[in-house]
Amino acid sequence: MQKKLHYSESVSSITLEQIADLYDSVGFGAADGYKSQENLLDRLFGHGCHGFFAIHGERLIGMVRVLSDDVICSWVAEACIHPDWQKQGVGRALFNMVTRRFEHTSIYLEALSSQVGFFSKMGIHPESKLVACSLAPKAKPRSPIHFMH
């Protein structure tokens, strides 16, 4: 029997090991660095943080993490789809979940120029008046978490 692909918004449906392996697969740092961190799931998905997950059998193959006040704005912190599952509709399904869940808020994200077309198809369009600003950490971060630049 072929393993089923299913989607969930429940953090309790995933494990730290699954997230670490997914981050590793997309180049967000070595899995071991995540697995050794205490309470990482609680820190990644604390108050105001929502997860949208694509799971194949026991393997996490996609995830979108959203920070939201659930009133005015929602911010996509990261989206990652395992390379073996990219361009197969997983990202589209996850973003459909995100846009349905947060349709009552503005949804913001930062995207690489090569990703703009995908997000535009999802209804999230570039805004000419918005500019992404950032501040690099001054000290070595306490964890090896690396997000899209």
* Residue 57 or 141, more confident: 57
Percent of the chain whose pLDDT exceeds 90:
64
pLDDT in tens, 23-44: 999 999 899 989 988 899 999 9
Q: How many domains does the chain have?
A: 1
CATH number, position 16: 3.40.630.30
Task: Using DSSP, state whether 75 is helix, strand or coil.
Answer: strand
| Burial category of 94 from C-beta neighbours within 10 Å (exposed 0-12, middle 13-18, buried 19 and up) | buried
Long-range contact pairs involving 6-10 (C-beta distance under 8 Å, separation at least 24): 6/54, 6/55, 7/52, 7/53, 7/54, 7/55, 7/93, 7/94, 7/97, 8/52, 8/53, 8/55, 9/50, 9/51, 9/52, 9/53, 9/97, 9/101, 10/53
In a domain, 20, yes or no: yes
Domain residue limits at 51: 5-121
In a domain, 67, yes or no: yes
